């Protein structure tokens, strides 16, 4: 059976706040609290991700499709 790790055992966050003091919230495994620890999620891992219409891949694909259609129209115009 695993031993439970309680926030008090992890210590305090210790990040510097705007007032100059150190943060006194309990630390996570990475040593910082939930407000000061780590990157924000992006893409599918983010809770508000819905369709992905504005992802880098989707925008790139639409640009390539537009360029292809322009080329087809120019080719048809010359015929």
Rounded to the nearest angstrom, the gap between the alpha carbon of residue 6 and the centroid of all alpha carbons in its chain is 27
Q: Which of 2-6, 27-31, 37-41 has the highest mean pLDDT?
A: 27-31
- pLDDT tier, 59 (very low <50, low <70, confident <90, very high otherwise): very high
pLDDT, mean of residues 6-22: 77
- pLDDT tier, 5 (very low <50, low <70, confident <90, very high otherwise): low
Q: Is the pLDDT of residue 74 over 70?
A: yes
Residues whose CB falls within 8 Å of the CB of residue 23, separated by 6 or more in sequence, listed in order = 12, 13, 14, 15, 16, 17, 32, 33, 35, 36
The Cα–Cα gap between 22 and 75 comes to: 66
């Amino acid at each position: 059976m695993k031993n439970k790790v309680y926030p008090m055992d992890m210590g305090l966050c210790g990040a510097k706040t705007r007032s100059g003091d150190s943060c006194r919230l309990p630390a996570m495994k990475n040593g910082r609290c939930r407000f000061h620890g780590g990157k924000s999620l992006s893409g599918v891992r983010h809770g508000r991700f819905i369709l992905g219409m504005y992802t880098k891949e989707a925008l790139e694909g639409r640009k390539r499709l537009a360029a292809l259609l322009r080329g087809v129209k120019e080719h048809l115009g010359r015929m």
